[in-house]
Structure 1
Amino acid sequence: MATRIVLLRAVNVGPAQLPMADLRAIAADLGATDVRTYIASGNLVADVPGDPATFDRALEQAVEQRFGFFRDVISRTPDQVRSALHAHPFEVVEPKYSYVTFLAAEPTADALEKARSFETHDDRWEVVGTEMHVRYADGAGRPQMKADAIGRALGVAGTARNLNTVRKLVDLAG
């Protein structure tokens, strides 16, 4: 068993409702232990059995079978999340304006070039390995850049958490 920070993309947004108690139960049914969630947005910390990627795919399938919608699952070790937090390349004025998007894979050079063609104004983003770091000048609720278009151009699934949430998840993982 290895401790993982497991992140589900776009949970409890619109019609995709997934109670955290149900998420904990599904993870436990898949063999995870010491299962904890943080806020109702698809953040799970648990000791997962076997290969983490296999667990992630099984969790995706179990959520889809039970709730009828697919959500990408991306997980990292606590050390990987801690490293991503420390690698944030931008000055943090407000932690809630700065995000780490955990990507399913590293984007290609061509995808990065395409994503860099989008205007960002005072917002900033940079990919470091398998994470995209973002700093919104005025907050995610008032973005100056088209983050969704940039994400699509990168060509890999990802799920974003603000730095407050990332820090809390690292703390929960121990």
Structure 2
Amino acid sequence: MSRRIILVRAVNVGGTARLPMAQWRDLAESLGATEVSSHIASGNLLCNPPGPAENFDRALEAAVQTRFGFFREVISRSREEVLAALEAHPFEELDPRFSYISFLQSAPTAEAVQAAALLETGDDRWQVIDREMHLRYADGAGSPQMKEPTISRVLGVTGTARNLNTVRKLLDLSDV
């Protein structure tokens, strides 16, 4: 199996769902992953998983729930998929901290995208391309005009977002 970039949704934010990175790496290794490393405390993992990526993602979800007592979605991509998502980012990059890619568990339906397009976003922008939702906040994610969780709910697909700085760093770290 080739190297994967594995993202877990909503950990170590606001004191909830604590997932220490050393234990996150240990968990992946205990499930058979090799060359395991992590980047910052937001649940970014790089490794060579054993077997099919989808099976490993689900095994990580179950292991997190068993060991830490909470469920969080795990979403992974190959380095090539993350690079393609970055290259497809449709918005002018005013500041890489204001631009995000939300990696979705699956592509939303066209009908769901049309319904979400009716939501108010102010000067913030979003666009779905395949299994990614690209976001650009006019004034940063700390003061959004759009409600990304609401858009995701209407899309009917769970995802986890990383700013472009983090995406680029994960690509650098995965280039081994």
- Please say whether Structure 1 and Structure 2 have the same fold, judged by a TM-score greater than 0.5: yes
1:75 aligns with 76
Residue identity matched to 1:83: A
Unpaired stretches in structure 1, ≥5 consecutive residues:
none
For each residue in 1:63-97, what CA deviation from the matched residue of structure 2 results, as whole angstroms up to 9, or x when unmatched? Answer: 00000000000000000000101100000010000
Q: State which drifts further: 107-116 or 126-135.
A: 107-116
Residue identity matched to 2:120: E
2:7 aligns with 7
Asked if 2 retains the 8 angstrom alpha-carbon contact of 1:10 and 1:71, the reply is yes
2:154 aligns with 153
Unpaired stretches in structure 2, ≥5 consecutive residues:
none
| 1:134 shift after superposition | 0.2
Stretches of 4+ moved more than 4 A in 1?
Answer: none
2:48 aligns with 47
1:164 aligns with 165
1:141 aligns with 142
1:23 aligns with 24
Task: Tell me, in whole angstroms, the C-alpha distance in 2 between the residues paired with 1:146 and 1:39.
Answer: 25
**How many aligned positions are there?**
174
For each residue in 1:11-35, what CA deviation from the matched residue of structure 2 results, as whole angstroms up to 9, or x when unmatched? Answer: 1123200000000000000000010
For each residue in 1:99-158, what CA deviation from the matched residue of structure 2 results, as whole angstroms up to 9, or x when unmatched? Answer: 000000000011111111101110000000000000000000000111111011010110
Asked if 2 retains the 8 angstrom alpha-carbon contact of 1:2 and 1:49, the reply is no
Asked if 2 retains the 8 angstrom alpha-carbon contact of 1:88 and 1:133, the reply is yes
SS in 2 for 1:2: coil
Provide the aligned C-alpha RMSD in A. 0.6
2:67 aligns with 66
Give the structure-1-normalised TM-score: 0.99
